[in-house]
Amino acid sequence: EAGVAQSPRYKIIEKRQSVAFWCNPISGHATLYWYQQILGQGPKLLIQFQNNGVVDDSQLPKDRFSAERLKGVDSTLKIQPAKLEDSAVYLCASSPLAGVGEQFFGPGTRLTVL
Amino acid sequence: DQQVKQNSPSLSVQEGRISILNCDYTNSMFDYFLWYKKYPAEGPTFLISISSIKDKNEDGRFTVFLNKSAKHLSLHIVPSQPGDSAVYFCALYSGGGADGLTFGKGTHLIIQP
């Protein structure tokens, strides 16, 4: 079974530029999560989708971050404009069902904002 | 404010001995607890979990203990092996409609030969 795929793996941009990350979850997984992991911290949830609907985006900085999950499969996370403090690893995870259980993580996208 | 605390940023253990990683939490609403392991340049991978109705769960070399009254959980690895060298995160789930996990900052475990 293929795991969660993410691209790109690395991205370097200048502040005020925009950037987008892509995630393909494990086939059949209804729930998809985006986490932000700043160096030295644990992952922090940004947004959770159930199929193509948003369940929780309370920690997403909506003035600059947006995310969508068209057709309930792939998802994109966008930052526009980027700030220096957005430098982090962006992790996508999926799980077969909502609720308690294991979440399967992709390898992440490392973003550096200069 | 940190709801989940892993107070040891790093831990060094000799191969073959027991590794004990600790995690404290403040919110009594957390009712399901997981441990994830992370190697460099990879995403976290699930290791073991425990429900709040239990105080111990064992899977091979890995055992998780939960002390709800103290709001404390620990992960025991015995015997420790070189491949166990990684960053370990405790992750807590509080239920409700949203089920994103709340992670600690992680503990870097180093197994020395």
Structure confidence at residue A1 (pLDDT): 67
Residues of chain A with confidence (pLDDT) below 70: 1, 98-99
Cβ of A55 within 8 Å of Cβ of B97? The answer is: yes
Q: Confidence band (pLDDT; 50, 70, 90) for B2?
A: confident
Q: How far is A15 from chain B (nearest CA, A)?
A: 24
Please give the average per-residue pLDDT across B48-56, as a whole number: 94
Residues of chain B contacting residue A100, judged by C-beta atoms under 8 Å apart: 32, 51, 93, 95, 99
Per-residue pLDDT, A46 = 96
For residue B87, what pLDDT is reported?
Answer: 97
State the average pLDDT over residues B75-93: 96
Q: Which residue in B has a C-alpha nearest to residue A10's C-alpha?
A: B41
Judge whether residue B96 has pLDDT over 80.
no
A31 forms bridges with which residues in the sheet?
A50, A95
Q: Which of A8, A38, A25 is nearest to A109 (CA)?
A: A8
pLDDT of residue B35: 97
CB contact under 8 A, A41 and B105: yes
Span B47-62, average pLDDT: 96
Cα→Cα distances B92→A69, A99, B1, B60, B71, Å:
25, 12, 15, 22, 11
**First vs last C-alpha separation in chain A:** 37
Least confident of B21-35, B59-73, B95-109: B95-109
Chain A contact present for B91, CB below 8 A? yes
CB B25 within 8 A of CB B92: yes
Say if CB B24 and CB B90 are below 8 A apart: no
Nearest chain A Cα to B94, which residue?
A: A100
Mean pLDDT, rounded, for B101-111: 96
B43 and A41 in contact by Cβ < 8 A? no
Measured between CB atoms, does B74 come within 8 Å of chain A?
no
The yes-or-no verdict on residue B95 having pLDDT over 70 is no
pLDDT above 70 covers a percentage of chain B that reads 95
Q: How far is CA A22 from CA A40, A104, B47, in A?
A: 24, 16, 26
B8-48 residue pLDDT tens: 999 999 999 999 999 999 988 888 999 999 999 899 999 99
